[in-house]
Amino acid sequence: MASDDFHGCKLALMDDSARLLVYLRDDKPEIRCPNMWDLPGGGRENNESAEICVLRELKEEFDLTMTQERLLYKRRYHHPDRGYSYFFAGTISKTEIGAIAFGDEGQHWTMMALDDYFAHPQAIESHKIRLRDCLDALRSGGLTIKPNPHPSSGES
């Protein structure tokens, strides 16, 4: 279990066509960022690690199971009002996209082109910033986002 203090995690999953898995949040005034395009992820439960948290949320929201080894990027961020959170990135295959079973949070999901996400007025601004940081870090490290060539190796 993790010993560091954080409140939640987000996950940017991209396919080989430079599209991002996003969902439109419910349009309810009592939730944060209503009717905005969000990324998989959510709040920490008990003392789970950041990796367990983000992968649990992915399972709950999209019925996708991935291993921690599929997480290609991790960065901790601080928000003055909410404390620490983590931002992760990984890849999603066509098979996994086809297997998505959207949960009961949010209006609907889509694979949105990265350029469209960055330009969208309903995309959550802090996620845009974190995603740009992620892409810059991956590029500077010589990494590019490519789908898992073996989506059936332990993941569904």
For residues 133 and 148, give the distance between their C-alpha atoms in angstroms, rounded to a whole number: 22
Residue type for position 6: F
Tokens coding 42: 């959510």
For residues 111 and 14, give the distance between their C-alpha atoms in angstroms, rounded to a whole number: 8
Kindly report, residue by residue over 25-75, the tens digit of the pLDDT: 999 999 889 999 999 999 999 999 999 999 999 999 999 999 999 999 999
Kindly report, residue by residue over 115-129, the tens digit of the pLDDT: 999 999 999 999 999
Kindly report, residue by residue over 43-55, the tens digit of the pLDDT: 999 999 999 999 9
pLDDT at 149: 43
- Give the mean pLDDT of the chain: 88
For residues 84 and 80, give the distance between their C-alpha atoms in angstroms, rounded to a whole number: 9
**Regarding the domain delimited by 8-140, which CATH topology (the fold level of the hierarchy) does it fall under?**
Nucleoside Triphosphate Pyrophosphohydrolase (3.90.79)
The structural domains of the chain, with segments of one domain joined by +, span 8-140
Strands in 16-70 per DSSP E:
19-24, 37-38, 41-43
* CB neighbourhood size of 70 (10 A): 20
Cα–chain center distance at 57: 9
